[in-house]
Amino acid sequence: MTTATTKPAFDLDYSIDDFVPSERRDSQYLYRALEDAMVELATGVPGARVLDVACGTGKQAMRIAARGCTAVGIEASAEMIGVGRWLQPQSEARMLRSLAESLPFADGSFERVICQGSLDHFADPHAFMREAARVLTPDGRLVIALANFEGLSCRLGRLVDATKRRLQRPRPPWRLYWETPEDHNVRGDLPFVRSLGGDALVLERCVGMSMFWLFGPYSGLLDALPERAAGALWRALDRAARSRPQHADMIISTWRRTEAGTCQTTAG
């Protein structure tokens, strides 16, 4: 189920403090694998022009630039851009303040457009999809990584919570991991991802990444195991997630332009 929250508003003030990365192994393994996968997908064409939409501090754009691609990041928050430039002033990646829904580039400017962990923050994800199609070259690709709030981990978390409620056990005062965060405008899941294409883009590939992320007993088990065993377990579940995006923690979708998308751009 995809639920639009009540506030489809632009968030211009995202702060580096809004996301505190977890030190636990399930999170650490997922962050690393996701970032590596997105960089690989972005740099498949040597020397490509790559746009990272809602790039945060631009760390991905900077890795992409270091691989010899022309990397540009756009980002709504001036703070995030500032932190990124301060962290890596020597990077050749360009970062601009702009909105995903209105990209300041000519038609056909990029071979790859990527968007990692951000689409559910956008006020209008469909407007972003149209813009991404417009700025892609005719044979370009858009790659989106989105958290899945209907994966096995979230469903299990809800089930455990419902059982605890029935037993009248106290609830923690903080947001539970399977609840939609306040700064999200939509809740990501597989039907939502599949609905994104519109007339201009067609879904070429959709894979899952990681399983049981943030589910308490699993996080505890990974932290308790010797490192090699923890890594092996994480990778086994990740392999299982790949062909089951509906159950995975992250959904990675790759999009290409439709004939209609290509014609619109060349005619316009």
Number of Cβ within 10 Å of residue 70's Cβ equals 17
> Strands (DSSP E) along the chain, which ranges?
49-53, 70-75, 94-97, 110-116, 136-147, 201-209, 250-257
Is residue 55 a contact partner of residue 95, using CB atoms and an 8 Å limit?
yes
Nearer to ligand SAM, 122 or 218 (CB): 122
CB nearer to ligand SAM: pick between 84 and 233: 84
Nearest distance, CB of residue 232 and ligand SAM, angstroms: 26
Q: Which is nearer to ligand SAM, 76 or 237 (CB)?
A: 76
Indicate the residue among 54 and 237 with the shorter CB distance to ligand SAM.
54
Buried b (16+ CB within 10 A) or exposed e, 158-196: eeebeeeeeeeeeeeeeeebbebeeebbbbbbbebbeeb
CB of 19 to ligand SAM, least distance (A): 6
Residues of this chain that interact with ligand SAM (CB under 6 A) are: 10-11, 14, 19, 54-56, 75-77, 80, 99-101, 116-118, 121-123
CB of 117 to ligand SAM, least distance (A): 4
Q: How far is the CB of 126 from ligand SAM (least distance, A)?
A: 12
Is 123 or 221 the residue whose CB approaches ligand SAM more closely? 123
From CA 214, how far away is CA 204, in angstroms rounded? 29
Query: Shortest approach of ligand SAM to residue 128 CB, angstroms?
Result: 7
> Considering only CA atoms, which of 39, 37, 59 is closest in space to residue 50?
39
The nearer residue to ligand SAM, 19 or 236, going by C-beta atoms, is 19
Q: Which two tokens stand for residue 74?
A: 């756009």
- Helix and strand numbers (H, E) in the chain are 9, 7
Q: How far is the CB of 43 from ligand SAM (least distance, A)?
A: 16
How many angstroms separate the CA atoms of 127 and 124, rounded? 5
Rounded CA separation 62/234 (Å) = 27
CA dist., res. 233 & res. 229, Å (int)? 6
Taking the C-alpha atoms of residue 205 and residue 210, their distance in angstroms, rounded to an integer, is 17
Nearest-CB residue for ligand SAM = 56
Question: Residue 77 or 265: which CB sits closer to ligand SAM?
Answer: 77
CB of 95 to ligand SAM, least distance (A): 11
